[in-house]
Amino acid sequence: MQQNGIGQSSPDILSMFYPKSVAVIGASATPRKIGHEILKSLLKFKGRVYAVNPNYDEILGIKCYPSVLNIPASIDLCVIALPAQKVPSALVECGKKGIRYAVIVSGGFKEIGDVGAKLEREITSIGKKFGIRIIGPNCIGIANPKIGLYTFFQPEDFMERPAEGAISVMTQSGTVGCIILEFLAYTGIGLAKFVSYGNKCDIDEYDVISALKNDNDTRILVGYIESFDNPNVLSAMKEFCKNKYMIVVKGGRTKEGTSAVKSHTGALAEDYRVFRGVIKQHGGIVVDSIDELKYSLKIVNFYYELIEKFNGKIVIITNGAGLSVITVDSIANSKYLSLASVDKKLRSSLPEYAILSNPLDLTGSATGEDFARAIMGVSETSDGGTAIILNMVLQDAPLGGSWQTMISAIKQCMEKTMILACADGGEFTMGVTRDFEALGVPVFSNPVLLISALDKVYENVRWKRYEKTGRD
């Protein structure tokens, strides 16, 4: 049974991501206008698409109707792209049509002040009256690649769409959502569900988390959040995080940021220290930047199951001492991570110029074969909970010309041992990075950020262990 209203989760919110029919209200025949690009984004949708605009008979080959009331079929989801003052009347028509879900991309509501706030209260009231669950206003809407559902007004030639995957995204900011979407597309990680909810006049984090907890396609949920208005969100988060991962970055952590948040979505931001502590207590991973979110996501995604065995111990294998000194400093400054001891038995399998310590420095003379022997040796002489970080200077001729020879060793070890790589450089290094990630090894360019992200992920692993066993 569907319940409408803020804070009341509908048991069928998940069905919002699986409409059989979508109507675009405010569709436009003019390229680059929002109503045109939304309709264009829906051309690959595996369902029926209808355009609504009284000024056209057809747009992009899709029949156009003057009103949703004129469409001779049922509609599951409407996307409204009209000036704010025209949204209430359009939403009333959606209610009369029996439409259950509405995405309102239009801006001009509470984020602009009292006049907009009044309009927002009006559309919220209309939604409750007709039982319409609303995403937005002031958002870019939802996506489900499995059925080709994208309500975006960002053209594909401006913003690449991710392939189908296991990562879901919830964000108050459409801009941050675009950044994450392109990151997923570029890395090939893939998307399960996406929701940008803007001012969240109705559907909020509680609704989204509660729905995606039951989504078999979602393993990890990443979120950009400016405020929590619903106290029930924490209990939903704790249930979600018992079996899945959630990574959160918060906007509005300073006095100035809080002011920016209010003008962005009209939200009132909380004290960041309190926010961070509460989220961690309920199973979320709280990161401090979009880049750290990307790093944390890569770690969890690439080692979704193996991460549960991680014990916080790290062995660094390198051919570049400087990068590893920075990594060691970061580990020393971390909360939970530490350097593992290196077994002296490895000496016989390493070249005479290698420095047997941690970092295990193979020096600038190291070849791919040297790395392979070191990787195998560390993996075989440590328990499955130790992680290996490969700090690679691929610009060095011995390694740059032979890095492929370590692939076999990596494949043999990565079922038991987490292997993370750190490398930075130009076109050649970036090409090798893509090859490593295709192999299943995540590569990072910033060792400080890598350790910070790994520390936060490991803190969350400890939380999960404690929830399951009473020990961390």
Which has more confidence, 229 or 27?
Answer: 27
> What is 210-257 written as a DSSP string?
HHHTT-TT-SEEEEEES----TTHHHHHHHHHHHSEEEEEES--SHHH
- Please, which pLDDT band fits residue 255 given cuts at 50, 70 and 90? low
> Based on the domain organization, do 214 and 82 belong to the same domain?
yes
- Checking if the pLDDT of 289 tops 60, the result is yes
∠ CA 273-137-108, nearest 5°, is 100
Q: What is the mean pLDDT of residues 87-112?
A: 97
Q: State the distance between the two ends of the chain, measured CA to CA, in whole angstroms.
A: 40
Are 273 and 339 contained in the same domain? no
Of all residues in the chain, the percent with pLDDT exceeding 70 is 94
Look up residue 146 and give its DSSP letter.
Answer: G
- Residue 462 counted as domain residue: no
- Say yes or no to pLDDT of 259 above 80: no
In 3D space, the residue among 222, 348, 340, 370 whose CA is nearest the CA of residue 285 turns out to be 222
Same domain, 264 and 336: no
Whether residue 109 is found in the same domain as residue 230? yes
Q: Mean pLDDT, to the nearest integer, of 258-279? A: 64
Cross-strand partners of 249: 224, 287
Q: What's the rounded Cα separation, in Å, for the pair 316 and 382?
A: 13
Contact assessment for residue 328 and residue 322, using Cβ atoms and an 8 Å cutoff: no
The span from the CA of 302 to the CA of 437, in Å, is 9
Whether 243 and 343 share a structural domain: no
Beta-ladder partners of 65: 52
Q: Are residues 444 and 346 in the same domain?
A: yes
Q: Which of 238, 263, 296 is the last residue of a domain?
A: 296
Same-domain status, 155 and 213: yes
The enclosing domain of 231 has a CATH number of 3.40.50.720
Residues 298-311 pLDDT 10s: 999 999 999 999 99
Q: Is residue 221 part of a domain?
A: yes
For 365-393, what is each residue's pLDDT tens digit? 999 999 999 999 999 999 889 999 999 99
Q: Are residues 63 and 183 in the same domain?
A: yes
**Euclidean distance between CA atoms 469 and 192, whole angstroms:** 30
Q: Is 460 inside any structural domain?
A: no
Q: Which of 303, 248, 327, 320 is nearest to 415 (CA)?
A: 303
Residue 220 is part of which domain span? 13-296
Distance from C-alpha of 264 to C-alpha of 251, rounded to nearest angstrom: 10
Helical H segments across 110-150, by residue range: 114-130
Single residue among 274, 296, 318 that ends a domain in this structure:
296
**Domain CATH for 416:** 3.40.50.261
Residues 278 and 377 in one domain: no
Q: Are residues 165 and 74 in the same domain?
A: yes
Mean pLDDT of the chain: 93
Q: Is residue 353 part of a domain?
A: yes
Give a yes or no: residue 5 inside a domain: no
Q: Is the pLDDT of residue 229 over 90?
A: no
Q: Is residue 3 part of a domain?
A: no
Is residue 316 within 8 Å of residue 362, measured between CB atoms?
no
Whether residue 449 contacts residue 227, with contact meaning beta carbons closer than 8 Å, is answered with no
* Residue 4 banded pLDDT, cuts 50, 70, 90: very low
- Tell me which H or E stretch contains 374: helix 368-381
Does the structure show a pLDDT above 60 at 5? no
Task: Provide the pLDDT confidence category of residue 9 given band limits of 50, 70 and 90.
Answer: very low
* pLDDT tens, residue by residue, 328-371: 999 999 999 999 999 999 999 999 999 999 999 999 999 999 99
Q: Compute the Cα dihedral for 73, 77, 80, 86 and give only its sign.
A: positive
- pLDDT band for 395, please (50, 70, 90 cuts): very high
Q: Are residues 292 and 393 in the same domain?
A: no
Same domain, yes or no, for 282 and 311?
no
The closest alpha carbon to 307, from 315, 296, 292, belongs to 296
Distance (Å, rounded) from C-alpha 123 to C-alpha 102? 11
Is the pLDDT score of 406 beyond 60? yes
For residue 174, give the nearest of 209, 136, 145 by alpha carbon.
136
Residue 169 lies in a domain: yes
**468 in a domain, yes or no?**
no
Helices 290-302, 174-187: axis angle to 10 degrees equals 40
Domain total for the chain?
A: 2
- What is the three-class DSSP state of 3? coil
Nearest to 420 by CA among 439, 397, 396, 403: 439
Task: Report d(CA 331, CA 454) in Å as an integer.
Answer: 10
- What backbone phi and psi angles, to 5 degrees, belong to 256? -70, -40
Q: What pLDDT sits at residue 124?
A: 98
Task: Convert the pLDDT of each residue in 65-89 to its tens digit.
Answer: 999 999 999 999 999 999 999 999 9
